[in-house]
């Protein structure tokens, strides 16, 4: 098990140097800034990986292609087949470039928050969600949960075999916020039951999870049991370490250890179960002086995880 740093899209020298300074084992690029309006080329992916490696960082995963690469696949639009073909090409090119993991989600309208407010410790700025404050109803979606399932199956049937043949694993992030419908748009991966159902349908090694502790904990109590269930099934490819206070329909993000779960118990569980993937930061509270990506909040989170992992390993070695 190792600690990487993620949630950035431009692999600049300064950013990679910063990750190296934090002592990260690797990085996850989130929707990397690469040329291409439908798919990413082998050459660009190969060069991206080489850039990271020049800083001693493993490119652990790419998280999310632009939503415009596969939005029609999610809601069943006219470009669906063309998008799926291009998505297959991205997977093949990732495999050829030696990038083993592609994170994705199945949200037609993405992550939704109703505010960023100084509600964290000492006035740290955190994201907030209140279902009754969701404004601007999304576009009318002639779609329901069954339709989302059907589109998901259609997509998986097309991309899973390509992922298997390419040596690439797919890692599914839960819908955030995990509600059956947000801003008038239906959702699919908002419950343990729906994840279980998908896991049963896809026994493939290429079907895995980006287990976002924040989002999973927003669903309600018992996040440790859900994590243990999927870790034991060898489905968890990596973990988003982010803490949240409260459950849907109302929650706010917070510093690790202040929210819905005990980070020590989570790390202990991962070690006990022999988890051999990695953990990364996710959203982080913004500290004084932070803006944008939040270097200070990320350094805090990454150091916290590294210290926790180091301490628990040392205790086990005795
Ligand atoms: Mn997440």
Cα-to-centroid distance, 164 and ligand 1 (Å) = 24
% of the chain at pLDDT higher than 70:
98
Q: Residue 211, SS3?
A: strand
The Cα–Cα gap between 155 and 229 comes to 25
C-alpha of residue 177 to centroid of ligand 1, in Å: 10
Say how many Å lie between the CA of residue 111 and the centre of ligand 1.
9
Q: Does residue 137 carry a pLDDT above 90?
A: no
Q: Ligand 1 center to residue 8 CA distance, Å? A: 13
Q: Quick one: pLDDT at residue 135?
A: 79
Q: Is the pLDDT of residue 8 over 80?
A: yes
CA distance 235 to 244: 23
173 Cα–ligand 1 center, Å: 7
Domains in the chain: ranges and CATH: 2-317 (3.20.20.150)
Q: With residue 265 as reference, give the H or E element that holds it.
A: helix 263-272
Of 111, 113, 112, 35, residue with least CA distance to 69: 35
In the reported structure, the alpha carbon of residue 318 is separated from the centroid of ligand 1 by a whole-number distance in angstroms of: 34
Give residue 140's pLDDT: 67
| pTM beyond 0.75 | yes
Task: Count the neighbouring beta carbons within 10 Å of the beta carbon of residue 121.
Answer: 11
Question: From ligand 1's centre to the CA of 62, what distance in Å?
Answer: 13
Question: DSSP class of residue 122?
Answer: G
| pLDDT given at position 139 | 64
Per the prediction, the chain carries an average pLDDT of 97
What's the CA-to-centroid distance between 292 and ligand 1, angstroms? 17
256, 179, 185: which is closest to 214 by C-alpha? 256
Distance 317 CA to ligand 1 centre (A): 31
Q: What is the pLDDT of residue 26?
A: 98
Q: What separation in Å is there between the alpha carbon of 56 and the centre of ligand 1?
A: 25
Q: Cα(108) to centroid of ligand 1, in Å?
A: 16
Question: What is the CA 78 to chain-centroid distance, rounded?
Answer: 27
DSSP string, 17-81: HHHHHHT-SEEEEES---S-SS---HHHHHHHHHHHHHTT-EEEEEE---GGGTHHHHHT-TTHH
Ligand 1 geometric centre to CA of 242 (Å) = 7
C-alpha 312/C-alpha 188 separation (Å) is 36
In this structure, are strands 250-254 and 243-245 parallel, antiparallel, or unpaired?
A: antiparallel
> Residue 142 — pLDDT band, cuts 50, 70, 90?
confident
Q: For residue 288, how far is its CA from the centre of ligand 1 (angstroms)?
A: 23
> Is 25's pLDDT higher than 80?
yes
pLDDT at position 19, please?
98
220 three-state secondary structure: coil
pLDDT tens-place string over residues 220-232: 999 999 999 999 9
Across-strand partners of 250?
130
Ligand 1 centroid to 153 CA: how many Å? 23
C-alpha to C-alpha distances, 311 to 26, 181, 231, nearest whole angstrom:
20, 41, 22
How many A from CA of 16 to the centre of ligand 1?
Answer: 21
Tokens of 142: 């002639």
Distance (angstroms) between ligand 1 centre and the Cα of 215 equals 6
Output the CA torsion sign for 84, 89, 94, 96. Answer: positive
Selection from 238, 240, 271, 242 nearest residue 256 by Cα: 242
Segment 201-219, tens digit of pLDDT: 999 999 999 999 999 999 9
Model confidence at 141: pLDDT above 90: no
Q: Please state, in angstroms and rounded to a whole number, the distance separating the CA atoms of residues 205 and 165.
A: 11
Torsion of CA 125, 131, 133, 134, to 10 degrees: 100
Cα 4 to middle of ligand 1, angstroms: 14
């Amino acid at each position: 098990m190792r600690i990487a740093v993620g949630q950035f899209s431009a692999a600049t020298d300064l950013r990679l140097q910063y990750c190296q300074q934090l002592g990260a084992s690797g990085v996850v690029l989130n929707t990397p800034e690469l040329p291409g309006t439908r798919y990413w080329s082998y050459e660009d992916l190969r060069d991206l990986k080489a850039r990271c490696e020049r800083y001693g960082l493993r490119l652990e995963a790419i998280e999310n292609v632009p939503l415009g690469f596969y939005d029609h696949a999610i809601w069943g639009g006219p470009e669906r087949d063309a998008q799926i073909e291009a998505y297959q090409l991205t997977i093949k090119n990732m495999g050829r470039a030696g990038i083993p993991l592609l994170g994705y989600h199945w949200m037609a309208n993405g992550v939704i928050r109703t505010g960023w407010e100084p509600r964290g410790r000492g006035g740290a700025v955190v994201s907030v969600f209140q279902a009754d404050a969701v404004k601007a109803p999304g576009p009318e979606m002639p779609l329901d949960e069954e339709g989302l399932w059907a589109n998901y199956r259609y997509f998986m049937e097309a991309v899973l075999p390509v992922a298997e043949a390419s040596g690439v694993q797919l890692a599914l992030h839960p819908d955030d916020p995990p509600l059956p419908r947000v801003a008038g748009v239906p959702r699919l991966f908002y419950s343990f039951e729906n994840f279980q159902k998908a896991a049963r349908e896809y026994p493939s090694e290429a079907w895995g999870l980006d287990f976002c502790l924040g989002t999973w904990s927003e669903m309600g109590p018992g996040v440790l049991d859900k994590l243990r269930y999927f870790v034991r099934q060898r489905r968890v490819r990596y973990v988003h370490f982010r803490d949240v206070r409260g459950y849907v329909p109302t929650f706010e993000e917070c510093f690790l250890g202040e929210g819905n779960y005990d980070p020590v118990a989570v790390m202990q569980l991962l070690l006990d179960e022999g988890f051999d993937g990695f953990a990364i930061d996710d959203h982080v509270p913004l500290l004084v002086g932070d803006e944008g990506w939040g270097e200070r909040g990320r350094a805090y989170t990454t150091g916290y995880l590294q210290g926790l992992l180091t301490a628990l390993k040392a205790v086990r070695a005795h």
